[in-house]
Amino acid sequence: MAGLYFEEFEVGRVFKHATTRTVSEMDNVLFSALTHNPQPLHLDEEFASKTEFGRRLVNSIFTLGLMIGVSVSDTTLGTTIANLGMSDVRFPKPVFHGDTLRAETSVAEKRESRSRADAGIIVFEHRCFNQRGEEVAFCRRAALMRKRPA
């Protein structure tokens, strides 16, 4: 497995994920359509041109998914049992078509599972940045992680 087991995580460790992604118009329109989100800020250039942003915004849930998805290969691929929840989700800056995003993940907390001897809980803090280094997304995510097999 490429992912790390519970024992391999250390609080304070930071993963600077090598994968970057330029977000396209197709990403935004397709994701909004697939999730039945008709928000004109995502889909209607004429409408969005009259807003304070002056153009369409990338769907923030796409940004959240991309930020977490980029982290998987370095952290949880094949070793996570389940996501337990996300909190403190923020989008401090908008994402636009053509922005190139990168992500970082830090280990904020680590504890043994009280109900499962074969697992522990890791709390990750994910951050996503655009090509100008501006933070565009943040969240805390709790994951139930496998312990190394005996």
Q: Give 107's strand partners.
A: 124
The reported pTM is 0.94
Four-way CATH pick for 6-23+62-146: 3.30.2420.10, 3.40.50.20, 3.10.129.10, 3.60.110.10: 3.10.129.10
Residue 2, pLDDT score: 83
Element (H, E) at 133: none
Chain segment 79-113, per-residue pLDDT in tens: 999 999 999 999 999 999 999 999 999 999 999 99
Closest CA to 142 of 65, 87, 105: 87
DSSP structure string for 99-114: -EEEEEEEEEEEEE-S
Q: With 90 as the cut, is the pLDDT of residue 1 above it?
A: no
What are 15-65's pLDDT values in tens digits? Answer: 999 999 999 999 999 999 999 999 999 999 999 999 999 999 999 999 999
